[in-house]
Amino acid sequence: MNKLNWFTENKNQILLNIYVIPRSSRTEIVGIHDNHLKIKLKSPPVDNEANEELIRFISKKLNVPKSNIEIIKGNNQKRKTISIAGCEYKMIKGLIS
């Protein structure tokens, strides 16, 4: 099974399928869950706090500007799809290694 089936490379962007667990003890990537990158977030899912923390966290991990990251699906759900402009395959692969 392909361990990297949680993302898609599309022209000048990467699409990531993410499963978030808000109100966790710390913010971290914990692995793969049902074809989604599973990420624990400290922030609660209130007033967009968890989404903002997710974008900050991914930005820091991949060293890309926050303005290059957008939640395109699942804004109010645990399962999300985010778009990252200016990102390469090797950067994404490094998230779980």
Q: pLDDT per residue over 16-73, tens digit each?
A: 999 999 999 999 999 998 999 999 999 999 999 999 999 999 999 999 999 999 999 9
pLDDT band at 2, cuts 50/70/90? very low
pTM, two decimals, is 0.91
Amino acid identity of residue 76, one-letter, is N
Burial environment of residue 86 by CB neighbours within 10 A (0 to 12, 13 to 18, 19 or more):
middle
Q: Flag whether pLDDT at 1 surpasses 50.
A: no
When pLDDT is averaged across residues 75-81 and rounded to a whole number, the result is 97
Q: In the beta sheet, which residues pair with residue 80?
A: 18
Predicted pLDDT at 93: 80
- Domains of the chain in start order, with CATH, are 7-86 (3.30.1200.10)
Q: In the beta sheet, which residues pair with residue 31?
A: 38
